[in-house]
Structure 1
């Protein structure tokens, strides 16, 4: 059993003293810093709309996180890790919408 954790964020035009494009990259960098926080993380990818659109691909949200964990316990450990919790204030300040789905496969 693998747990997939997918989150998408739409960002404000201006927030936290920066424009949307800057905050897309900031959020991506902050998320990627969380990639190896806990054992049981199998896959961890972050992409931005700017990257997708530069390649002619569709993007209706600004940032997406696709991650896989070996168990619900590993996902819970990631979500409660202090370094992950620490980025939540920034995310809350820059996002206008969020979508999330976790599922087993």
Structure 2
């Protein structure tokens, strides 16, 4: 199994929305991918606690796949690319790690 963790730092305002609204939109869009990309075993999105350090990333994507090949399928899927296009417009930072467990 492969765990794919991605952290996003969002702009205070982007695409006509405040950061808090974009956090909810990103969460909804990413979690909806489970219904359209069969290789996703698990996908959850969590946001940083509002009272936590503002230096923290705003969102973490926690997802699981059976293999690296499945992760690549997910990464190249047209629906994932659409979500990535939106995230690219609202994020100012990204960090990721993929590991086997």
TM-score (ref. length: structure 1): 0.85
1:41 CA drift (Å):
2.2
2:71 matched to 1:75?
A: yes
Matched residues, number: 100
> Considering only aligned residues, what root-mean-square deviation do their CA atoms show, in Å?
1.8
The whole-number CA distance in structure 1 between the counterparts of 2:4 and 2:36 is: 15
Deviating beyond 4 angstroms after TM superposition, the runs of 4 or more aligned structure 1 residues are 56-59
Indicate the residue corresponding to 1:17 in structure 2.
Answer: 16
SS of alignment partner, residue 30 of structure 1: helix
Inter-partner Cα distance in structure 1 for 2:33 and 2:53: 26
Q: 1:91 to 1:24 in 2, by over 3 A?
A: same
Runs of 5+ unmatched residues, structure 2: none
